[in-house]
Amino acid sequence: MLYQIGPIALGTRPFSADSLSRAGGADLAVKPLMNALPGREFMGEADEKISISGQLLPTKIGGMTELEMAHALSRQGTALPVMRGDGKMFGWFAIESVSEGHEELLRDGMGFVVKYQLALVKVEPDAGNVAAPAGGIVGMLLSLFEAL
């Protein structure tokens, strides 16, 4: 396993990831000063964002089920724990967007190669719309199967 995003495991098959980028920082308030550089006051942690991209071969090794699950989790705004394969926990993230591109279309309209990108943003695990649906993890999984 390369990464775990809630119930979605990214590895080398069937749902593979090719690259990851992670950005974060601090929010600083700018205060203009006379005859000096502007002063900066620390206001807290800035948005932390993760972008994961990869490519699937759905007719050979699969991966479309996991991609559809990512779409469903994005629509629900569910807060998900994100962990790297070595066990490092990044915190709780919501899938902000999912994009996919199909190449070399087959007769059924699906691409032989499907390239995807997931954009995640760090959230509080119990904040408003990003909390897990009623019923906890079991309810979340049942609602995902309904979306498929």
pLDDT for the residue numbered 125: 83
| Residues in contact with 58: Cβ distance below 8 Å, sequence separation at least 6, in sequence order | 64, 110, 111, 112, 114
Does domain 3-23+43-147 fall under CATH 3.30.70? My reply is no
Global pTM? Answer: 0.77
Which among 64, 65, 82 is positioned nearest to 119, based on CA atoms? 82
- Residue-wise pLDDT tens for the chain (148 aa)? 899 999 999 988 889 999 999 999 999 999 999 999 999 999 988 999 999 999 999 999 999 999 999 999 999 998 999 999 999 999 999 999 999 999 999 898 889 999 999 999 999 886 544 444 445 555 555 555 554 5
